Amino acid sequence: MELDFVYYLPTSTPSNWTVTFSGQSYALAGDLARGTTVVDPGAGPGPGLDPSPTPSPGGPCTAAAWSASSEYGSGTTVSHKSHHWKSKWWTKGEEPGSTGEWGVWQDLGAC
pLDDT value for 86: 94
Q: Is the pLDDT of residue 1 over 90?
A: no
> Coil, strand, or helix at residue 95?
coil
Task: Identify which has the larger pLDDT, 28 or 37.
Answer: 37
d(CA 40, CA 36): 13
Query: What length does the chain have?
Result: 111
The per-residue pLDDT for range 49-94, each reduced to its tens digit, is 555 555 455 568 889 999 999 999 999 999 999 999 999 999 999 9
Q: Is the pLDDT of residue 98 over 80?
A: yes
